[in-house]
Amino acid sequence: MNFYSLNNKAPNVSFKEAVIKGIAPDKGLYFPESITPLPKSFFENIEKLSNEEIAFTAIQQFVSSDIPENELRKIIKNVLDFDFPVVEIEENVATLELFHGPTMAFKDVGARFMAQCLGYFSESTSNEVTVLVATSGDTGGAVANGFLGVDGVKVVILYPSGKVSDIQERQLTTLGQNITALEVDGTFDDCQKMVKTAFLDDALLQKMQLTSANSINVARWLPQLFYFLFTYKQLKSKGKELVFSVPSGNFGNICAGMVAQRLGMPVKHFIAATNVNDTVPEFMETGEYKPKPSSATISNAMDVGDPSNFIRIRHLHNDDFEALKANLSSYPFTDEETKKAMLHIYKTSDYIADPHGAVGYLGIQKYRKDHPETFGVFLETAHPVKFLDVVEETLGHTLELPAQIKNVMGKEKTSIKIGKYEELKSYLLKR
């Protein structure tokens, strides 16, 4: 399988090259040349398949012969060593819990998959790869954990100072070894811009092989489609039309869901639920894409003003606004609405949702008002404990720290403060 650049000004590349490059030389995101639907029998029998078998069948066409079947199966087995339960919280509404991995956020699957692909590729090359990643909260910790100790790979994480939760910050600043955290005086969008600028900087590119571990990288993005298939496996017997509400920041997760749909999985509609960073909800109203500076919210992983993957979503719908509207709705919610939803879910269902999950829940509620016949699934993208202060304060309930989190609590933060791109560049050149 080859991948082409969405800017159409760079040569097509294999999966391996797309993973190692991260982004095309013309600054475009890579996109698979084709998406071949899986046989009907796959979906008819999905409940009989293991998660590993589902994941292997779904991803193999994209990885193709760049990773032999036995190696790819090994990678998938290592990546999927935790559960993805669907929990029904009220009639016709369920949540898909994506926080049972090592850093308790949905990024664990993509980060570990990419790390292991790069690890496999680095066995056949002597060149070191530097992974640059921008995080608004959860990606950083998952990438730090997934890439820790991977031979031939150095990781540099950029995060906005003061704009991630205490636990998120510990997860990305305390591991050491091949992981470095750069604390940026700015927003997530500033971090993401710096990373993208580095990919176009010849002086850097001549000295090192740079790649990205954000969802712009196909190996980070595509494995997220597993989640939607795992949900279908668990809910198929209900015989209802499924609607997914995805708390959305950089829009990689929801876009991967749409790839699962292209593989033939029945989905009635997608909802991109956002916080007040409403670039996409506004686009869905007006048809005009106007990126804006991001604002800090209690659902910080979604504090993104110019979501990287929205271009892939538009492309999947042939840039046809009407076709997109038929498949996607997008609604923004304020912090106040989010807190009210957290409290409502807790009181009525005895379920503790994190602020991102609560935004997803609000998206389902809004959509189901006009479509009560559907079954809504909102994604719980991170464990509530990662947002300890706001969850405890909103619910008046003390949370117990899971082992994964206790593990990082005693460790010491190490970060390097930077303010502008030149400081990132000089750090990379001096290492």
Ligand X SMILES: N[C@@H](CCOP(=O)(O)O)C(=O)O
- 180 vs 234, beta carbon nearer ligand X: 180
Give min distance, CB of 25 to ligand X, in A: 20
Q: What are the structure tokens assigned to 311, written together?
A: 């271009």
Quick one: which segment of 58-66, 131-139, 234-242, 256-264 binds ligand X (CB under 6 A)? 131-139
Give min distance, CB of 140 to ligand X, in A: 6
Quick one: which segment of 60-68, 69-77, 130-138, 418-426 binds ligand X (CB under 6 A)? 130-138
Among 252, 332, 355, 384, binds ligand X (CB under 6 A): 252
Does 249 bind ligand X (CB under 6 A)? Our answer is: yes
Give min distance, CB of 251 to ligand X, in A: 8
> SS in 3 state form for the chain?
CEEEECCCCCCCEEHHHHHHHCCCCCCCCEEECCCCCCCHHHHHCHHHCCHHHHHHHHHHHHHHHHCCHHHHHHHHHHHCCCCCCEEEEECCEEEEECCCCCCCECHHHHHHHHHHHHHHHHCCCCCCEEEEEECCCHHHHHHHHHHCCCCCEEEEEEEECCCCCHHHHHHHHCCCCCEEEEEECCCHHHHHHHHHHHCCCHHHHHHCEEEECCCCCHHHHHHHHHHHHHHHHHHHHHCCCEEEEEECCCCHHHHHHHHHHHCCCCCCEEEEEECCCCHHHHHHHHCCCCCCCCCCCCCHHHCCCCCCCHHHHHHHCCCCHHHHHHHEEEEECCHHHHHHHHHHHHHHHCCCCCHHHHHHHHHHHHHHHHCCCCEEEEEECECHHHHHHHHHHHHCCCCCCCHHHHHHHCCCCCCEEECCHHHHHHHHHHC
- 224 vs 261, beta carbon nearer ligand X: 224
Quick one: which segment of 129-137, 148-156, 237-245, 276-284 binds ligand X (CB under 6 A)? 129-137
Give min distance, CB of 158 to ligand X, in A: 10
Give min distance, CB of 98 to ligand X, in A: 12
Give min distance, CB of 147 to ligand X, in A: 13
Contact criterion met (CB below 8 Å) for 376 and 153 = no
Say which residue the tokens 């202060």 belong to: 389
- 18 vs 235, beta carbon nearer ligand X: 18
Give min distance, CB of 214 to ligand X, in A: 4
- The mark string for 81-120 relative to ligand X (x by CB under 6 A, - otherwise) is ----------------------------------------
- The residue count for binding ligand X (CB under 6 A) is 13
Instruction: Pick out residues in 214-233 that bind ligand X (CB under 6 A).
Output: 214-215
- 23 vs 263, beta carbon nearer ligand X: 23
- The mark string for 287-306 relative to ligand X (x by CB under 6 A, - otherwise) is --------------x-----
Among 5, 51, 173, 250, binds ligand X (CB under 6 A): 250
- The mark string for 132-171 relative to ligand X (x by CB under 6 A, - otherwise) is ---xxxxxx-------------------------------
Does 275 bind ligand X (CB under 6 A)? Our answer is: no
Strand partners, 133: 157
Q: What is the C-alpha separation between 331 and 352, in angstroms, rounded?
A: 22
Task: Identify whether 163 is a catalytic site residue.
Answer: no
Q: What are the structure tokens assigned to 374, written together?
A: 């559907």
Q: Identify the active-site residue in 16, 40, 74, 107.
A: 107
Does 174 bind ligand X (CB under 6 A)? Our answer is: no
Known catalytic residues are: 107
For ligand X, the binding residues (CB under 6 A) are 135-140, 214-215, 249-250, 252, 301, 308
